Structure 1
Amino acid sequence: MRALILLIAMAWPLCAADWPQWRGPARDGQAEARQQWPDELERGWSIVVGEGHSSPVAEGDSVYVFSREAEAETLRRVAISDGRVVWKTAYPVSYTPMGVAAPHGKGPKSTPVVDDGRVCTLGVTGVLSCHEAADGKLLWRKSFDKAFASTYPLYGAAMSPIVHDGKLIAHVGGDGAGALIAFDLASGAEAWRWAEDGPGYSSPILVRARGRSQLVTQSEQNVIAINPDDGKTLWMMPFTTPYKQNSVTPVPFRDMLVFGGTRQPTFAVRVNADTPVKAWESADVTLYMSTPVRVGERLCGFTEKRKGALYCQDPNTGAVHWMSEGRMGDNALLIAAGDRIVAATSEGEVIVAPSGGAAYAPEHVYKVAESPVWAHPALVDEGLLVKDKTALTLWRMR
């Protein structure tokens, strides 16, 4: 059996404080274990940055946050040490969410990526931008409003771009029409284009299987694996959900990849053969927007069952070890810190719980926001960076 290995999507060694992209250094929610979690978190600083579900990303002493203020999308560089805004840049964006998308706000929803001295963003209407990380200078910008029949999905662009070998890769376009496109990070020149399906809301990961790199994600109606060097299809498996809400980021475990979506069984695909095959599926846990994390030999997540519940299951078989009682909110963003789950819920709480055992047994529940939290937190040396409805806060662990 060939083990599945995550490829680091960064171009240089990372320090412990770095959280440079969606779900951390390897896009898998893994963070260093904390020897001890305090009884209470200490508020370090808090600044108003605007609305949106985009998650903060950190490199060194800087955190970058992408948000909406009035009719503009704004990118800030903030000093982690004291909350000082180092620079701020913005561009006008007119966007009105329609129908069922209205409660989810006007974005942005995509998380920036920091790589090789640059920070890149994807706005809610599909505007792709690349800036100098040092001073915020705009290097290049792409808009796709005339490229496809639909410019962005129903809920707005939400996938988080990824960098591979000097190329920024983003899934752009909208319902029924779009493309996964690689751009030269320095110049913005197009390197390749995959146009077999439009975007979902899932963000890609890089894995290595059968001796080759694979870019894996959920598109609008499929699970796909693409060669990140040339954009060629490696394999594809049909999969979609109601409202075409393919939102979950793939999770690697050994020679398998775990996928899921709303009102659909969570399932694992074994990819150590020429044709990937389904290894297991579990209707006991279905996923809405939350992506599970691997915690040792367990897979822990947040299911839409029971009106929102944390759970842990066996990633080899899908069997559920435990599930909380429920009614915990609409969503949770998960980090694995050693053998602990760190879950930031849409109710403004951060829960720390061991993954082991036969029952849910939280050790700490911290109140970190009075408004909903839909952005993924960043766990760095200085503490936990949390973006709520309008504010970015550093919570210290002292």
Structure 2
Amino acid sequence: MQKRIVLAMTIGLALRAGAGLAQDAAATDVRVRELIKQLTHDDPHQRVAAADALARMGEAARPAVRPMLEAMVGKSAWVDFSLMDGLADLGPVALPTLIEVFDKGPDNLRAPAGRALWTMGHAAKDAIGVLERVSKDESAPKNIQALAANALQKVRSELAERSVEVAQPPEMPPFAKVNTLPGAGEWPAFQGPRRDSICREGNLLREWPEQGPPLLWKLEGLGKGLSNIAIAGGRLFTMGERENKQYALCYDLAGRKELWAVEVGTKYEYGPLSTPTVDGERVYVLSTDGKVFCLAVSDGKVLWQRDLVKEFGGKMMCVWKYSESLLVDGERLICTPGGPKAMMAALDKTTGGTLWQCEMPSIGDLGADGAGYSSPVVAEIAGVRQYVNIVGRGAIGVEASTGKFLWGYNRIACKIANITHPVVHGDFVFVTNSYNTGSALLRVKREDATWKTEEVYFLARRKFENHHGGVVVVNGAVYGGSGLDRGEPTCVDFATGRIHWKAKAPSSGSASILYANGDLVFRYDRGLVVLAEATPREFRVKGKFQAPTGEGPAWVHPVVHDGKLYLRHSDLLLCYDLKDS
């Protein structure tokens, strides 16, 4: 009798468990259908959120693979990248459908399927046969043939890729300790006064409360744009697009009152991309169509202007427009037109006159002609002051006094977009790029009149590749988010290329980074902001919060100034209190 009771109880529990599983499966099916519907929402944030959610659902998301392809309609690069990432994350769940659609599907879906296979890289090795055949199929549309060839090259290169690290670090100058300085100082340009994404203030919160640091204020009305802020002389400068025109903007920092707005450019899909550079009584801005303006800080009066396209034959390496932030060095204003006779140019910062322009020789076949999306940095390498940047064909060094081309490095270039600017320490240059490239440390040498670069190490993309959030180097460690449209927190030894740690990203999307007071601030493009300790020992989170969001991805880098954290997201600027009382 007792055995019968136990058996009945066991059967009852099993039936209830089965019913619970069935209910869970039914609820999951309903959720998948809801997310598929959300993929067609008018709000891109809703479409991105649906893609992120489906990417985490594994096998249950199989019915969503084709709708995810159908949602890649090309209206928003951010949405399309999110969908490609989601399909790549689904991996073997999505792969059979992607192969089938790319091979024999309708033309409007073959291109999205090809891009998703490209994003998968080595995980799409089962698609090699189809990719080979389509790449040689003369009856296929040219864009589909090209996609097949590109995806095939990426899959094969990832399967074969090798990282070259070094066991014994080369001799190099010691890294200076990042000391905190009294007072707030200024933040007059992109990534700060030294263009290194380091805030040297102290007395900041070392841990954040659960809900995040207190929000002091928010400012709306900046207009669309990915331009960051510059702070100098009690004023805040940025750029924004309003009513189909680009403006340079100046605000009173204390009262947030707009002091002036000067029209500098025309409508662009993302708005202005460059950050103003403030130098004394002048501020320099660059519009997306390549117009350089020198404006008076006091009232925005145009003191002079130049046109990089018309005057220097400038062009960009790809479809996206000018985004570099101009560099002031002494009496020179450094810009990168990207022209055949003027890859880089120096202008007199007072008059706008041309001091020199640098004609760039061929440095290799990788990448594309034109300027990149990186910004120049100034450095002393082998005793020569020079400007280092990543352009369409790779990293270059140009003599500061004459504009003479000194050296180039092609391996870091891709054909799509070269974005993250180099970091220089002594005679060593760290470069990183995405889109199937990776990272490298170069030793730049001068032998009499000849310059050359030597690879100390090369890290394949699966080790470390930074998309566009930048990196920061502190005490010999490189910190940044790794992955195409991803932000996997990673710490790399600068001298050897050894990975100290790589953590799972706490959010989907790419991440920008800033160092302040012993900690790192990661900002993810979905709105999450994370505080982590800057240490090569481990990735240790000390606080996080979800910031209010504006239109599109939150790609603008965080800024810390005078104990406050500034986060711009298109039309919106948020200010948080970080002071440790």
Q: Superposition pairs for residues 174-323 of structure 1, below 5 Å?
A: 179-196=343-360, 198-262=370-434, 263-271=436-444, 273-274=446-447, 275-283=452-460, 284-304=463-483, 307-323=486-502
Q: When you count strand as a share of all residues, which structure comes out higher?
A: 1
Question: Under a length normalisation based on structure 1, what TM-score does the superposition of the two structures give?
Answer: 0.88
**DSSP-derived class of the 1:146 partner:** helix
- The answer on 1:343 being equivalent to 2:522 is yes
Q: 146-155 or 122-131: which moved more?
A: 146-155
Other-structure match for 1:102 = none
Q: Superposition pairs for residues 368-387 of structure 1, below 5 Å?
A: 368-371=547-550, 372-387=553-568
Alpha-carbon distance in structure 1 between the residues aligned to 2:563 and 2:446:
43
Q: Which has the higher contact order (CA 8 A, sep 6+)?
A: 1
Alpha-carbon distance in structure 1 between the residues aligned to 2:311 and 2:283:
24
Contact 1:265–1:281 (Cα < 8 Å) also in 2? yes
Q: Which has the larger radius of gyration?
A: 2
- The answer on 1:68 being equivalent to 2:68 is no
Post-superposition offset of 1:243:
2.9
Post-superposition offset of 1:33:
4.8
**DSSP-derived class of the 1:363 partner:** strand
Other-structure match for 2:578 = 397
Distance 1:234 1:241, change over 3 A: closer
Alpha-carbon distance in structure 2 between the residues aligned to 1:162 and 1:18:
16
Q: When you count helix as a share of all residues, which structure comes out higher?
A: 2
Other-structure match for 1:330 = 509
Distance 1:92 1:209, change over 3 A: closer
Alpha-carbon distance in structure 2 between the residues aligned to 1:247 and 1:75:
23
Distance 1:173 1:280, change over 3 A: closer
Post-superposition offset of 1:151:
4.2
Alpha-carbon distance in structure 1 between the residues aligned to 2:265 and 2:443:
44
Post-superposition offset of 1:221:
0.3
Distance 1:289 1:254, change over 3 A: same
Other-structure match for 1:10 = none
Alpha-carbon distance in structure 2 between the residues aligned to 1:35 and 1:264:
39
Post-superposition offset of 1:321:
1.0
**DSSP-derived class of the 1:156 partner:** coil
Distance 1:4 1:233, change over 3 A: farther
Alpha-carbon distance in structure 2 between the residues aligned to 1:303 and 1:340:
18
Post-superposition offset of 1:293:
0.4
Q: Superposition pairs for residues 57-206 of structure 1, below 5 Å?
A: 57-95=230-268, 105-147=269-311, 151-152=315-316, 153-173=318-338, 179-196=343-360, 198-206=370-378
Alpha-carbon distance in structure 2 between the residues aligned to 1:14 and 1:138:
35
Post-superposition offset of 1:214:
1.4
Instruction: Give the RMSD, CA atoms, in angstroms.
Output: 2.5
Q: Superposition pairs for residues 46-57 of structure 1, below 5 Å?
A: 46-47=218-219, 48-57=221-230
**DSSP-derived class of the 2:255 partner:** coil
Distance 1:335 1:177, change over 3 A: same
Which of residues 160, 163, 173 is equivalent to 1:3? 173
Contact 2:265–2:291 (Cα < 8 Å) also in 1? no
Post-superposition offset of 1:363:
0.4
Distance 1:92 1:225, change over 3 A: closer
Question: Under a length normalisation based on structure 2, what TM-score does the superposition of the two structures give?
Answer: 0.62
Other-structure match for 1:9 = none
Post-superposition offset of 1:189:
0.7
Contact 2:183–2:562 (Cα < 8 Å) also in 1? no
Alpha-carbon distance in structure 1 between the residues aligned to 2:486 and 2:175:
34
Post-superposition offset of 1:32:
1.8
Counterpart of 2:455, as a letter, is K
Contact 2:226–2:270 (Cα < 8 Å) also in 1? no
Q: 345-354 or 246-255: which moved more?
A: 246-255
Which of residues 542, 545, 569 is equivalent to 1:363? 542
Which of residues 20, 25, 37 is equivalent to 2:188? 20
Contact 2:285–2:326 (Cα < 8 Å) also in 1? yes
Distance 1:251 1:168, change over 3 A: same
Contact 1:20–1:58 (Cα < 8 Å) also in 2? yes
Alpha-carbon distance in structure 2 between the residues aligned to 1:215 and 1:15:
29
Distance 1:271 1:86, change over 3 A: same
Q: Across the two proteins, how many residue pairs are aligned to each other?
A: 382
Alpha-carbon distance in structure 1 between the residues aligned to 2:325 and 2:276:
7
Distance 1:186 1:33, change over 3 A: closer
Q: What do the CA deviations read for 1:274-305 (whole angstroms, capped 9, x no partner)?
A: 43211111120112112210122311011116
